[in-house]
Amino acid sequence: MIWDTHAHLDDPVYLEDFDEVAVRMKAAGISRVTNVGYDFLSSKRSIKLAEDYDFIYAAIGIHPHNAVEATDEIWAKLLLLAKQPKVLAWGEIGLDYYRDLSPRATQKEVFIQQIKLANEVDLPIVIHNRDAHQDILQIVKAHPPRCGGVFHCYSGSWEMAKVLLNLGFYLSFAGPVTYKNARHTVEVAVHAPLDRILVETDSPYLTPEPRRGKRNEPTYVQEVVKKLAELKNLSFEDIAHQTMCNAETIFKNTTSL
C-alpha cells in the first residue's frame, strides 16, 4: 500500500480517462492520494473528488503563483472548506521565486497568513518552495506551523534539509529523485531519516523516469518508492510501508482515517 501524498487529479488532462487512472493505481497498490488545491476553485474541486472517491483526500490553499488573488473573502471561504471531513492539510502554500507570478512581497504575506489560518484550524501545511530557500526558512522559523508540515517535492540542499528536519518538517520526494541530474535530491534522500520521508507524484507534472516528459499519474509513484529503496538499501515494501505510516502521522488531523 502506497500513499501518493501530492497530486492534482482535478486537472483537465484526466477528464477523459479518470476511471482508468484510478483502476491502474488501485491495481498497483496505491491506496490513497491527496489531491492538492492551488487556488479557491481547485481547493473546492479537491474536496469534491474526496467526496466522490474513498481513496482521495484533500488539501486546500492558495499557491504562491495565485497569491494576488487572495482576499478576505477568499480566506473566509477557505476556512469553511478547511472544516470539511476529508481535508488533511493546508496547501499548497509557499514561495516561488523561479516563475515570480505574484510579487514577492505578496507571496510572503499570503504564505504567512495561511500558516496562521492552518494553525487556527489545526491542519499541517504543505509547502511549495522554488528558489526561495532563505525566505521560506525565515518565515517558518518566525511563524511555526503548529501541526507541522511537509516540504513537497523537496529540492533544496542537505544542509537546508537538516535545519528543516530539526524544525520537525517532513520531506516529500517526487519524480525528480529519479532524474539523472538529481545529485542534490539524491543526497537528501540518502541521508533523510526514514521516519520523516513521504512520496508523491505531483501528477500530472514531474513524471519519474522512465516516463519523464509524459503525463504523470499516481501509479508511477512506484518509481519514486523504487528509487528510495535503492538509495536506502531497503526493500520496496519497506519504503511503501514506512512512507504510509509517516503520512498517517503528519496527516492525522482527520476523523476519516
Directed axis angle between helix 221-232 and helix 236-250, to 10°?
110
- Complex with Zn ion: residue 34 or 246, whichever CB lies closer: 34
Query: 256, 86 in Cβ contact below 8 A?
Result: yes
- Complex with Zn ion: residue 128 or 196, whichever CB lies closer: 128
Tell me the closest approach of the beta carbon of residue 192 to Zn ion, in angstroms.
20
Return the residues of window 187-206 that contact Zn ion according to CB under 5 A. 202
- Complex with Zn ion: residue 91 or 145, whichever CB lies closer: 91
Instruction: Give the span between the Cα atoms of 82 and 88, in whole angstroms.
Output: 8
Measure the CA angle with vertex 151, ends 238 and 124; round to 5°.
Answer: 95
Instruction: Give the span between the Cα atoms of 257 and 39, in whole angstroms.
Output: 25
- Complex with Zn ion: residue 42 or 222, whichever CB lies closer: 42
Burial 143-178 (b: 16+ CB within 10 A, else e): eebebbbbbbbbbbebebbeebbeeebbbbbbbbbb
Query: 218, 174 in Cβ contact below 8 A?
Result: no
Tell me the closest approach of the beta carbon of residue 93 to Zn ion, in angstroms.
11
Residue nearest to Zn ion (CB): 202
Tell me the closest approach of the beta carbon of residue 205 to Zn ion, in angstroms.
7
Tell me the closest approach of the beta carbon of residue 168 to Zn ion, in angstroms.
22
Size of the site for Zn ion (CB under 5 A): 1
- Complex with Zn ion: residue 202 or 217, whichever CB lies closer: 202
Residue 110 CA, chain-centre distance (Å), reads 18
Tell me the closest approach of the beta carbon of residue 238 to Zn ion, in angstroms.
26
Contact set with Zn ion (CB under 5 A): 202
